[in-house]
Chain A
Amino acid sequence: AQSVTQPDIHITVSEGASLELRCNYSYGATPYLFWYVQSPGQGLQLLLKYFSGDTLVQGIKGFEAEFKRSQSSFNLRKPSVHWSDAAEYFCAVGPEVSSNTGKLIFGQGTTLQVKP
């Protein structure tokens, strides 16, 4: 069965520090991978996506993620965190092969808190 695990429920970093959010997936085929960010009271905004090719992908707001097939991981990174990055971050993989719905499978999310 396909699944996504975000091992860290909550992370706190200081403003200006580097950030890495972990994402591990289980998927029977070549995955399509996504990172979304959700600010309080808002919808999910796509940060970046990986379909194929270069395993290091760049996204919006200075984020990047690296696909590592051998580790089944797609970790999100940012060199220097800003206070406005405080939000909840979701990793997703798709599509769900068994259901043929096009459904994305989401991790449980990681809440990022930024200390001044």
Chain B
Amino acid sequence: DAGITQSPRHKVTETGTPVTLRCHQTENHRYMYWYRQDPGHGLRLIHYSYGVKDTDKGEVSDGYSVSRSKTEDFLLTLESATSSQTSVYFCAISAELGGVEQYFGPGTRLTVT
């Protein structure tokens, strides 16, 4: 299995509070992704990174920011959590951009009350 960990695995937070989710990889892969998974919507890309300090938006980036200061870590921040951000968040990594499989972390279940 690819070495990907996510922390925390579960979190409950209140509306309006900031939340940071961490993805850590030991594969030295260049590309990292944050997805959210919701019933009826499948997996949707939030942000991705193509290198240290190089990030870009996905299809559902509003309300989220990311940072990547090291190859191995990709952080997802909800600046002010809302109930609509209750979801399961998955980090993924790949060695190349496109055409190559992505490996997924175990996910973080976030509940915003």
Contact = CB atoms under 8 A, between A and B. Distances in A.
> Is B one of A's binding partners?
yes
Contacts of B12: none
Interface in B3-51: 4, 31, 33, 40, 42-43, 45, 48, 50
Interface string A83-114: 00000001000111001111110111100000
- Which of the four size classes fits the interface of chain B? 20 to 34
Nearest to A96: B98
A44 B90 contact: yes
- Which of the four size classes fits the interface of chain A? 20 to 34
A32 B98 CA distance: 9
Interface stretch (B65-73, B76-84, B101-109): B101-109
Interface stretch (A11-19, A45-53, A74-82): A45-53
Given A43-B107, A44-B90, A102 B43 contact: no
B32 to A, nearest CB: 10
A106 B43 contact: yes
B107 A42 contact: yes
